[in-house]
Chains A and B, each alone.
Chain A
Amino acid sequence: MSFRTAQIRLVSSHREVYEPCDDSFALVDALLSDRNNLIEHHPTLCMEVGSGSGYIITSLALMLGQEASGVHYIATDINPHAVRVTRETLEAHGVHSELITTDIASGLEKRLAGLVDVMVVNPPYVPTPEDEVGREGIASAWAGGENGRIVIDKILPIADNLLSDKGWLYVVTLTANNPSEICLQMRQKGYAARIVVQRSTEEESLHVIKFWRDFDTQVDLKEMAATNKTVPARVMESLVSQFPLSAFWRSGPQ
């Protein structure tokens, strides 16, 4: 491969920080497979929410280039250890991202609104008891509460606020998160969706979904408002056709 991603031997670590795993690799593979589109997209600001080990933001910076290419990176994590590890991983690869220790994008909502051209998120998506969400340390990397959706559902409206008109959002989800419902919610905010990578392991089935603001969707929404209907049939069809049937079956506790 002529272009590079972060190298595992250069990824820093800490006992309280999630190490690159199947979900991280799935997201980086999704970005790689979309790399040509991303380059033609000419993003000015790229952001990662929950950068953890730094594997993903470092890979994105290696794929798309740095200041000389006109791309600027921002990454956040709620876990201070993770932000420091992200910094070490970036430095080990000779790339730079601005880093902020914060809850999702707290402090950035006002001034960064509408400026992010590419956002990548590998959220804490594991279904857990609700009281495990928001704990300090490594639990913040995976604890997702009921259906693994608590943090995802907090992130999506924030992403909607921060994304530019041409903004793209890449999110990792698990089948248990009910990704088709996530797509439908995003439809209602005017986003189209596409599955970029789908991967099944023995334990979980992962989707990396890409969202973008879609003019046709906004027309559909206006039709909905005008005719007082629910989701237009063709929207539902296009969504359903993307997911395997299993995605619609709620998976029980594993």
Chain B
Amino acid sequence: MRLLTHNMLSSNIKGVANGFPLRIEVEKVVEKKVDLNADFLRNIFPKIEWKAFAEAARTLGYAELPEDADSSFLDSDDFLDKFHHALLELHLEEGALICPETGRRFPVNKGIPNMLLHEDEV
């Protein structure tokens, strides 16, 4: 699971008002190199909740992202490289996502988060 996906996921348990961001429990992180596409990064940047993203990257052991970022940062190649790496190359391979409100644990196995709910949570 990439951090882009983490940034798009919220706790889906019935009655949870503040299900974002999910906390990350790390067992195993893997890195997979992919080619950088600056247009993709510029398109997706405004959709990213930056604080949650930078925090998630730190949890995965990558502390190179600035605390805050605005669109003027996208002119910097150095920023794009770091943004690209954290967004697309870091994968949570094993671990869990934790609902910030209830503490409910959504397991991540082989890079796949399982967001299926029990009957009493729907």
Q: Which residues of A contact B (CB under 8 A)?
A: 44, 66-72, 74, 78, 80, 83-84, 87, 96, 98-103, 106-112, 115
Contacts and interface: CB of A to CB of B under 8 A. Distances in A.
A124 B42 CA distance: 36
Given A107-B11, A111-B49, A115-B47, 14 more contacts: A67-B36, A69-B37, A70-B39, A70-B40, A80-B112, A80-B114, A84-B110, A84-B112, A101-B112, A102-B12, A102-B114, A107-B10, A108-B10, A111-B10
Given A74-B5, A98-B4, A111-B20, A68 B37 contact: yes
Given A106-B12, A107-B11, A108-B9, A44 B40 contact: yes
B114 A101 contact: yes
Contacts of B1: 98-99
B8 interface: yes
Interface of A is mostly: loop
Contacts of B2: 98
A99 B112 contact: yes
B76 interface: no
B112 A106 contact: no
A115 B9 CA distance: 13
A100 B5 contact: yes
Interface residues of B, number: 32
A141 to B, nearest CB: 16
Given A44-B44, A106-B12, A111-B9, A101 B116 contact: yes
A72 B77 CA distance: 21
A99 B111 contact: yes
A108 B8 contact: yes
Contacts of A102: 12, 114-116
13 contacts: A66-B34, A68-B34, A69-B37, A72-B4, A72-B40, A72-B44, A78-B116, A87-B110, A99-B112, A100-B5, A101-B115, A102-B12, A103-B117
B28 to A, nearest CB: 16
